[in-house]
Each structure stands twice: as C-alpha cells, then as structure tokens.
Structure 1
Amino acid sequence: MRRISHDLRTLQATRWRWLVLLCLLVSWNAFATSVQATLDRNDVRLGETVTLNLRIDGDANVNTPNLSALDSDFEVLGTSTNSTLNIVNGQQSSELIIGVALRPKHTGDLQIPSLTVAGNPTQPLTLHVDPPDASAAANAGKEVFVDVTANPNHVYVGQQLLYTVRLFFDVNLNSGNLADPQASGVDLRKLGNDVDYESVRNGRRYHVIERRYALIPQRAGPLTIPSIEFQGEATDPTSPNDPGGFFNPGGLFGNTTPVTADSPPVNIDVQAPPPAWGKTTWLPARSLTLSLEGVPSDNKLTVGQPLNLRMVVEATGLSGDALPELSLPTIDGATVYPDQSNTTTHDDGQWLTGHRERSFAIFPQRTGTLTLPQITLTWFDVQTGQKRVATLPAHSFNVVAAGGAPAATSSSTQPAAMSSPTAASSVASSLAASPAATAPSMVWRWVALGSIALWLISMVLFGGLYWRRRSSTLASAHKKTDDSTDSARAQRQAFTDAARGSDLAVQARRLLAWARAERPALRNLGEVAEALASEEQRAAIALLQREQYASVSAQKRIDLAALFAKGFAWRTDDVQADSPLPPLYPFKLD
C-alpha cells in the first residue's frame, strides 16, 4: 500500500509538471504575437478617408477583427491585407498588416477604441476631424486641382513650418508629375512618404495624394512660396473609335488628354529673433531636452580612472545640424577629453527632430571633491513665444586614491634594514662564513652572460620597432596635413562660387565651412570675425549676418569673392583658435 501511494503521488506530480509546461507554452505563444494600431493621418477634414493599419508580428494567419465598435463614429469602407515573410540568418519572422479604410461621420476628436486582434488588445487612438474646407468652392467642378497649406503661416527665422501639398483628381491618370515647392532662402526637406486617401469636395468624390515638407526660413521678412504645378495625362476609358470593341475590351485603353493644375502661392511672415534675445545661439523649437548619462549612483570616482559621460540634446522642430556643439566646462582637478559629436535628424511625418550627442572622458587627477558645474542651454519655445532654459544640475563626486597605491612616505624595506650598522655587520659576517658565497660559480656566470645577451637583443628589437612606428606616425601626420590642406582648398573654392551668387544663407555657410577647415575650433561667424585682423573682412561678415537674419539691405553690395581672394587675415596673437580640440566651456544664458 505504501508503494502504491508513492506511485500515485509521483504520477500526480508529473501531471502538474506537464500542466505548468503547457501553460508556459501557451503564454509564450501569446507573447510571440504582438499587435500595433496606427493611423496614416491624425488630422482630417469631414468627408475625407483615413486608414487604420493593424500590424501583427509573429503570426500571419489572423482573421479580420470585429470592427463593430467603430460604427458609431465611422463608416467602414473596406479592408485590405498585406503579409510578408522574412528569413534572416535562418530565423523566420512574419508580419501581417490589415488596412481598414474609414470615413468619419462627424467633426471633433473621435476615439478609435481598443480592438482585439489575434487575442491581443490594441491601444486606443484619437483622430481629429475638422469641418470641410471653406475655400473648396474655388475648385468646385474641377477634375484635377492642387491645394497647399502652411502651418503656421507666421514663424521666426530658423523655425520649421509644415507645408502640405494635396493633389485632388477624379479622372484616370495615366501619368503625372507633381513638382516640389521652390523658394529662395528656405531649407526644404520632404517628410515621410506620400499618403493616399479619398475626400469629398462639394459633393464630388476625389482621390487625393498628399505630400508633406519641412520648410525652414533662413532670413527674416515676407516669404512667398510660388505655386506648384502638376502635369499629367488622363485616360478616357470610352474610346469613340472602338468603345468596348475587339481592340478595346471593356473600354480599358482609351485616348489620353493632357491635364494641368496649379496651386495658389502662399505668403508667410518671417520674423527676426526678439531684440532682447542677446548673443545666445538662436534655437526656435517646439520642445527641447538636455540630458547627461553615465553619472555613477554613488558619486564616487578613483584617481586616474576615467568617468565616461554622454551629453545629449534633442529638439523638435529643429534639424540636428542646427543644434549647438556640446562641451563641458574646465573642471578643477580633472582633465576632460571630448569625443567626436554624433548628429542625426528624423521626423514623424510632421515635425523634424534633431539629435546631437557627445561623449566625454573625465580623468580625476587628485583625491578630494570633484565638482562638475551646472550647465544650461537657452532656447525659444515657438508654441508659447517664451524663452526657456534647459538645465543640467551641478554634480559633486568623491575622488579616492587608486587601490593598492603605496603611501607617499613608504620606502623599500631592504635599504632600511641596511641602514643599521649592526645589521650590515651581520650580513657581512654571514657572507664571509659561507665558502659558497665567496667562491665564483661557473653556472651563475653563464646565467649572467646569457641575461646580458638577451637584454642586448631586446634593446635592438625595441629600437627597430620604435623607429618603424615613428616613421609610420610621421607619414600619417604628413598625410593628415595634406588632407586638411585639400579640404581647406575645396571649401575656399566652394565659397568663391557661392559669393558670385545671391543666396546669402549659402554664402554664410560656405564662409564658415572654409574658416573651420583652417581653424576647427571656430563655431560660428561671430568667432570667425573676432579671429580676423582685417577690419574690412570683419565688417563684411557683420553686414552678411545683418542681411541674412535682420532683413537689412545694404546700400552697396560688397564683393565677398574679391575681399577674401587672398584668404583670411588671421590675427597673429590668436593662438587659441589654432587648437585642434573643441573649446571647453559651459552654456550660458546670455
């Protein structure tokens, strides 16, 4: 009986193990499938369509979910599916996208509730629906027209605005070309991919292709973006020669007629920075963050061991190259070694987001307290119209000596022992009493000679390696100097070409690039002017900046190409600008 009871308990435990394993497998299968819901647009007008994309990763065999929860606010026009299968390094992954075409039934902020797809809930989404466009009457009855909008139409210099281009058509287009917007003194970047949807204007249903651009004005004053032209060919499916005949079954191959459409020009008011802004770098952004990574939680450092920090600045509404260079101030009791900056720019389909980061290695030189001062970065909030300051608080660290380091007063024990006359006499007596110590040994003599020979060979090899490395270093230095000279020559030629044109923004960028090719420590044209000895060149740079940012027209145009034909007239006492390392300084408010 005891054995039977033991077997029953063993069988019961085995069943529990299998049950737990089955639950783990089911849980893993649930986690293996992830679902994400997104909208192709977050803002639409009443009468337009929007696509809800349900992305399923990990399982391509999923049915269309129940969409009845959308009936109160949306009209479901139809669904489509697109599946992909990827095999990378023997690992298989699948993805299924279910597209749901929706048309809002009323205006306002409409909620798309959570949907259950493949056993997993999606996150709720919000869609903003505006009333129909009041200016649509101007395009009533047109088969093809182009509509453009600028948001906002009142900006500061350097501030990004969202420029949207929409092509409306209700004909069968065989081909077409929609040009990009063009404007002088504007940095233009395309955002994301084209969006395809339907819209109703004045009771007529149109197919719409939408493109978005980031426009950044480079100078203050009134800005006009010229009209955008569309040129294409429309196909008439009902051929008068052979409608639905043998050569045109179903009217698929009709005659083509050219179609064109122009958008109205857009006027934008571009303001200069506020007069009270000062000399701080002008950073008009929608949001900006400044962070410092790598600070130890215990605030303890060791002499001679590096503290590796990474400073990151990220701003929405600015590109990465518009952000200032990051640096650390001079730290008492430590040496700072900065790394190269890393700059990137990405977008979410509406706004640019610039990212700049830089790493620093801080080597403490002595024990005690090491303080990293507070660092600030001033920027302008374009949404509120206020000056803001991003701050990194000061950090204090406790620096300790390296482990195992000898004390400053310690010395070798053998010389201390020999300093005693009694000990010295004792050692001498013991050596005299030992015949083996006074008699020369042939074995030890050969060992000594062999050691000397090995030492001489090592010195010869070390000398050869040293001179080889020295020759390689000198050759590399000569090559780097030649590359730097070639870069300065190329930048000089680029500035000379730009100086013959009329684009002030390009002239300013080329002039700064040429100056930095010769003196990398210079950060902006203001520092270039301070490093020059020629009053004519300094005045030319000041006038170039006023014309670019303050919209001030000069009475007489300065020939920049002739003024800088002989190169920069650098000040001979300006030694700091020749340093190849970036400057170490904190950000300041003004």
Structure 2
Amino acid sequence: MVVSRRLLLALVTLVFSTPTFAISQLETSVDRNPAVEKEYLVLTISADDDVKTGDLDTSPLLKDFIIGRTSVSRSTQIINFDSRKQTRWQILLAPKHAGTILIPSLRVGGVESTPIELSVVAAGSQPQQMRNLFIRTSLSTEEAYVGQLIIYKVKLFLAVDLQRGLLSAPNLDGAQIKQLGEDVDTTEIFNGRRYRVIERTYGIIADQPGELTIDGTGFSGDVLVQGSRLGGMFSFNESRPMEARAAKSILLINPIPNEYHGEWLVSDLVALSEDWPEETQEYRVGNPITRTIKLLAANTDETSLADIVIPIPQGLKTYPEKPVRKTFLRDKQMVSQLTQTLAIVPTRAGEYTLPAITVPWWNPHTKRQEQATLPARTITVIASDVAEVNLSQITNTSATNTADYWPWLSLIFATLWLATLALWKKSIGQVKQFTVNQADSGSPLNMTDAVTSNENVQRHAFPVLTAKQGTSLSTLEAACNEGNPGKVLTMLQAHYAEQYSRSMSLADIAGLSFELNQAISRLQISAFSKQQTPVDYQMVIEAVKSSKNNKVQQRTSTLVDLNPK
C-alpha cells in the first residue's frame, strides 16, 4: 500500500513537473568552402534550445562580410519521452575581399560558437558550371543617344529547384526603364550543364547625355537543395536562401546632334505607309474619303513617336481621329507604330494635290539624319451627283408637261400677271393713302407696315414658287426627323439647288448665313467622324427658314425703295 502511494506520487510529479532547458551547444557551418568574392554563401547557426531571435548578435560579421537576408526556424523532437528543441539561423554572407577570412565566434546565452576559417577566391576564378545560381546580362549597344531605346536583357540561371524568389529591376539615374513583355522560362545547356533560365527584357531610355551607370539586377529567394541526416541513411530536400546580383554596366549617352533639324526621333529604321481607297478614281463633293497613315519605327519606344503633321489644301475639310500608338515584336525586334486615321470631305469640285508627308529621323548606326517620306497624291473631285440628277429630272418633267399644255399654261400665267399688276397698283395706292394719313396726323411713316404690305402682295403674286419651297422644305424636315445626318446634307443640297435653279455645294449653302454654316459643320462632324456627335435638327430647320426670310426681306426692301412717294 505504501509502495503504491509512492509510485502514484512519483507519476504525478513526473507529469505535472515543468522541465527546464538551457542552451549548452552552439554549432556553426557554411554551405561552401572555398567561397567566391562578392558572392553569397549560407552560414548556418544551430542552438540546442528554444532561443529568441534577437539573442544572436551578428555585428562581428560586418567587418569582412556583406550580410544579406536572415531566416530563423525552430523545431521540437520527442523520442522516448525525451524532448529536444532546436533554433536555427541561416544567414547570407558575401565576402568583401579574397583571401583567408575568419568567421568569428558568435555568442548566444553565454555559449560561444567555434570560429571557421574561410578561403575566398577572386571573383571570376570559379568556373560558372560549378555554380547553382548566377545572373548574366546583355545590352543592345554600348553607346546610344538621348531618347534612344536601349534593350537590357537579364538571364537568371538555376541549377536547383526554385521555391520562391524575386528578380528586382536594375537601379539607374537619369533614365526611364520599363519591362518589355513577359518573362520567358526556358532551358539552356551552359558549359555542358543544363540550367533552367528565366529571361526578362527591359527597355531603357536615357533623358540626359553623359555616362549612364546601370546597377545590375538582383535576385533574392529560396531554393530546394538535397540534404541528409542520420549518417546519410535518409535524404530530403531542404529550403535554402540564395541571393545573386549582376555586374554593373556603363553606357555612353550622346546628346542630340547640332546638325539635326526637326522633331527628334532616333531609330534603326523608320517607314511611312498609308491605306487609301484605290478602287475609286474620282470622288464627289460631300462624300468622305477615309485615309489611314501609319508610322513604323524599329527599336523605338511608342512614346517617342510625335504626331504626324498632315497638310491639307483649301477646298477639303478633315476630321481626324485620335492617334493610336502601340508596340510589338517583329523578328525579335521592338517595333513601335503610330496610326492616324482621318476623314477628308471635299467641299468644292476640282483637282487637289495632297502634299507629301515627311518625318525626319536619326540613324544611330550611320550617325546621320534621314527622312521617311510619303509621296504626294492627286485626286479629282466632281460635283455631287444628287443635286444634278434631281435638277435634270425636274427639268425633263417640266418640259414634257408644258409641251402638252402650253396654251393653257400661257393663259394661266397671263391671268396671274394681270392680277399681280392690279394688286401692285392697289398696294401703291394704299401706301400713298397711308402716307397722307400719317402726314395729316403728324406721325412718322412706319416702314415696317409698308414692307409687310408688300410681303403680302408677293405671297399672293407667286403661289407656284411658294408651293415648291414648301414641298422641298417638308422633305428636308422628314429627313431631319429620321436623324440621319448624311441624308440631311443630301437633302439640303437638293433643296437649295431647287430654289436657286443651279447646283449648290455645301460650301455655297454654308455661305448663305452664319446659322447654316454652323449647322452644316455639325452635320458633317456627326456624319463623318467615328465619334457620335448629337445634332440639333430643329436648329437646322430654323437655319433654313431663317435664310429664306432674310432673302424675302432683302427683296421686299428693294421694292419699298422703288415705290414712288
């Protein structure tokens, strides 16, 4: 009974007692010896207890090493109720110089590690095929001009499995840099060893002349390497941090040459082309002509392409769209393209010459100015077919009808002429009587009443012309109600051609009044531009009516001035 109580007390004490641990051993090791100058190696420090991260002081390493990233891991093992804890630091170290360097002893909780004697060879003396990770870079040129696109390629060679990593962009001042395209993941055999290669391309444009220094791009990440334990009986993959950095590159940037004239553009090759409706040889007034001009430049950034200056002769109106810029790869070369599309609308018939378009550029290989040229083009514009056809149809119809009914029409017109003469005499008498009455009453003569009286006379004197105007105006109003700007422009030409008994271009109609000029401009923009622009069709109708009223008022005022007093 006593033995049972003692055994139970011992078990309770064993279960509820908290074991105390204390660090007793601190081991250090490196993943390679000898090492290479300025290249990172891994220093591993292991403590046989759970230790705080800040308890390790790494300041003694700063004398001879560049300290990179530090990772900390902890583990616990329980074997036969025996608990063991471990804290492990992995520190990236890059030797500052070649020779024999001593990794000093480090202290954690009063326990010191054993120093390590490290042999460091000069950079470049180690064969690259013995390295598991390295970076190589290349430049498209060693001498460039301000604004010239410089291609900077980076290749990361990996002979181990990549777990995670970051490839940083190079550092530089006085230039713009951006990544071109996506990363390319391939494999290459380098010096007889197969590597996984991650390739990235950057575009660099220098802003100022002088010497441009490019600090090499860097890599930082974790890779999987094969490890072993328990005397090599078992193997496993463990994560190991790695860093690498490419060497610096220096370029000479030349300024813009003094002998260059024009908008600055430096490229390997520049070309101009255009898309033109070749199937049409003659063009009509009012019909749009779509012209697309493309500017291509090899090894040039799209932001370096200035807008194309397109001269247009008098008699043609242009409605340009917003230029479109893009960059693409062709035959492993970077090509930038600017596309300018515009609609050309002839306003008068005749022959027009579109002047040649010239874009100057600088050839960095020949070191001289060249130019890309689009030759001049001559086009022939004929009068609008719509107004002419309508007029011919009206003339033929009138001739056919009047040939059969000429005697009756002569009688009608003679009667109307006599009625007009009688009304005109009557209006003169009314004006004279009105003038006498005004003189007797001492009031001044109101010219507006006289003009209105003559307008009434003319309305009754010309009923045929008024009916014709009303028909064409109603047709125009119907086109406006449909909301089709192209049809409205056509009906405008037909309407005014009918009123003036001759072919009327849009330019002729726009010259009749300011309101018509504004209305036709908005209709053309809405009809020929890809961007939909709303049109106030009521304003168009009012502009047409206003031009008629102005015409009648001018004619009436002349009659008033001719009236005898």
User: TM-score, normalization: structure 1?
Assistant: 0.44
Which of 1 and 2 has higher RCO (CA within 8 Å, sep 6+)?
1
Structure number with larger C-alpha Rg: 2
User: TM-score, normalization: structure 2?
Assistant: 0.46
